[in-house]
Amino acid sequence: MAARGTERRIPRYDTEARIEESEFNTTFVAMPEEASSVNLVQVNSLKKGSPVMLRGRPCKLVDYTASKPGKHGSAKAHLVAFDIFTDNKIEMIAATKDKISVPVVQRAEVVLMDIVEDQYLVVMQKDGSVRSDLKLPENQLGDTILKRFYNEKKKRRVEEDDQELLLTTLSWAADEAIVALREGYAK
């Protein structure tokens, strides 16, 4: 029995507890299809260079150190990884028997066609469609792309060459980044 004065009064549905319908209308935002593309693996099965999700970001594992089980607990693993889109370093400690998410990152190769004034790249995908929403990276790779593109443009005027500048992109959920540049033939 409740203490005196703390009794709860249960409202009757038909008179007092009228619930506004708007209280239950919830808007759900659909996540991108790629966001759900993660697999679960045990921490002790990870190796250097493998992709891993740390703090909700897809990363590349650069260091994995496992300790022995101690007197009061299981073995722990120290994970050091870099975000594949922002290059931020992320560290985490987890039990080796725990499960961890591994992202399924999409890799694609596109042909660089042009660079527009606001540093966006015009690229052609394998299916022949043209995109112009890729931003030029603001790092050494971006500088290399600019130099190689304008050198290739001058060289093509002199001789007709079928070789093209190919960019490798990685994408997961709404993030996409250019990670490599090579000269070659589009397949």
The full DSSP string for the chain is: -PPTT-PPPPPPTTTT-PPPGGGG--PPPPPPGGGG-EEEEEGGG--TT-EEEETTEEEEEEEEEEPPPBTTB--EEEEEEEETTT--EEEEEEETTSEEEEE--EEEEEEEEEE-TTSEEEEE-TTS-EEEEEEPPSSHHHHHHHHHHHHHHHHHHHS----EEEEEEEEETTEEEEEEEEEE---
3-state secondary structure of 4: coil
| pLDDT interval class at 7 (50, 70, 90) | low
Residue 87 pLDDT exceeds 80: yes
Q: How far is Cα 46 from Cα 17, in angstroms, rounded to an integer?
A: 54
What average pLDDT does range 158-181 have in this prediction?
Answer: 81
Q: Comparing C-alpha atoms, which of 10, 94, 116 is closest to residue 46? A: 94
Residue 32 pLDDT exceeds 60: no
Residue 99 pLDDT exceeds 90: yes
Residue 13 pLDDT exceeds 70: no
* Residue 59 and residue 81 in contact, taking contact as beta carbons nearer than 8 Å: yes
Model confidence, pTM: 0.66
Least confident among 2-6, 104-108, 141-145: 2-6
Residue 152 pLDDT exceeds 60: yes
Residue 12 pLDDT exceeds 60: no
Residue 42 pLDDT exceeds 90: yes
Q: How far is Cα 67 from Cα 43, in angstroms, rounded to an integer?
A: 12
| pLDDT interval class at 36 (50, 70, 90) | low
Q: Comparing C-alpha atoms, which of 89, 105, 100, 87 is closest to residue 34? A: 105
| pLDDT interval class at 65 (50, 70, 90) | very high
Give the mean pLDDT of the chain: 80
Altogether, the residues listed in the chain come to a count of 187
* Residue 61 and residue 46 in contact, taking contact as beta carbons nearer than 8 Å: yes
Neighbours of 77 (CB within 10 A): 20
What average pLDDT does range 161-173 have in this prediction?
Answer: 84
What pLDDT, on a 0 to 100 scale, did the predictor assign at position 33?
52
